[in-house]
């Protein structure tokens, strides 16, 4: 794989169980992934009728910026973030945002919105000439920062999740937040190894 536009269906050929020793996440008809912790977010609505999920969007997030652990990301996505807990939080506490999933540094996967519904993760965005990426995408946040290497466990969980999602939906592409909102967003940043993800996804058992 070379550019963002080339991360297409061929990248999802298979995820090797031998690589991780763990099965892929199974996604039910509601869009809830087995083996994840579900923390319900109010920051979603219904997808436009008849809209298929064809895109996965990889994000990076840490709150406060550069700090890992704690529950601030969960609080943001569930509208419980205390604006007084950190100076940065006053700028974002009022946002109505959530991804469908968060993958923590240890590989834990937390789900906030069922994939059949539209989570508010992408904002103003476009992919392959199509605007409003929230309509047809699933958002996956990785706990991290643009310039900090992501953890081994996160790549494994992301690959397992991507395969499970493709088994349920006609996913054709995977892109970064920066790819769908260039000039506005930079995540998951230069620290994210797309080649490594491609290798995991293409590694047939």
20 band by pLDDT with thresholds 50, 70 and 90:
low
Q: What is the pLDDT of residue 22?
A: 84
Residue 154 zone, left/alpha/beta (φ > 0; ψ -120 to 50; rest)? alpha
199 band by pLDDT with thresholds 50, 70 and 90:
very high
Q: What is the pLDDT of residue 18?
A: 38
How far are the Cα atoms of 47, 101, 102, 189, 201 from residue 125, in angstroms, in the given order?
16, 19, 20, 17, 25
Q: Which residues does the annotation mark as catalytic?
A: 141
Q: What is the mean pLDDT of residues 2-13?
A: 40
157 band by pLDDT with thresholds 50, 70 and 90:
very high
Q: What is the pLDDT of residue 203?
A: 67
Q: What is the mean pLDDT of residues 61-74?
A: 97
Q: What is the pLDDT of residue 16?
A: 40
Phi, psi of 160 (to 5 degrees): -60, -40
How deeply is 200 buried, as exposed, middle or buried, from its count of CB atoms within 10 A (0-12, 13-18, 19+)? buried
Q: Cα–Cα distance between 150 and 157 in angstroms, integer? A: 12
What the block records as the tokens of 32 is 């809830």
Q: Note the helical H segments in 28-175.
A: 72-77, 89-92, 152-168
Q: What is the pLDDT of residue 116?
A: 98
pLDDT digits (tens, 9 = 90+) for 40-59: 999 999 999 999 999 999 99
Q: What is the mean pLDDT of residues 169-179?
A: 98
7 band by pLDDT with thresholds 50, 70 and 90:
very low
Q: What is the pLDDT of residue 59?
A: 98
Q: What is the mean pLDDT of residues 69-81?
A: 97
202 band by pLDDT with thresholds 50, 70 and 90:
confident
CA 59 to chain centre: 5
Q: Cα–Cα distance between 146 and 150 in angstroms, integer? A: 9
How far are the Cα atoms of 32, 79, 165 from residue 71, in angstroms, in the given order?
21, 12, 26
The pTM for the full model equals 0.91
pLDDT digits (tens, 9 = 90+) for 84-141: 999 999 999 999 999 999 999 999 999 999 999 999 999 999 999 999 999 999 999 9
What the block records as the tokens of 205 is 């058992």
């Amino acid at each position: 794989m070379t550019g963002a536009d080339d991360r297409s269906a061929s990248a999802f050929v298979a995820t090797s169980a031998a690589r991780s020793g763990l099965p892929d996440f199974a996604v039910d008809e509601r869009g809830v992934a087995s083996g994840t912790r579900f923390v319900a977010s109010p920051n979603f609505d219904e997808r436009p009728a008849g809209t298929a999920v064809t895109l996965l969007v990889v994000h990076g997030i840490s709150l406060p910026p550069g700090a890992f652990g704690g529950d601030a990301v969960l609080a943001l996505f569930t509208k419980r973030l205390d604006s007084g807990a950190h100076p940065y939080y006053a700028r974002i506490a009022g946002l109505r945002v959530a991804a469908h999933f968060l993958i923590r540094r240890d590989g834990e996967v937390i789900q906030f919105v069922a994939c059949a519904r539209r989570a508010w993760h992408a904002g103003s965005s476009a992919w392959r000439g199509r605007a409003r990426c929230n309509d047809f995408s699933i958002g996956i946040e990785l706990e991290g920062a643009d310039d900090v290497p992501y953890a081994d466990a996160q790549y494994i969980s992301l690959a397992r999740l991507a395969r499970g999602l493709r088994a349920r939906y006609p996913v054709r592409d995977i892109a970064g937040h920066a790819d769908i909102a260039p000039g506005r967003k930079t995540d998951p940043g230069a620290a994210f190894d797309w080649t490594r993800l491609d290798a995991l996804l293409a590694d047939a058992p």
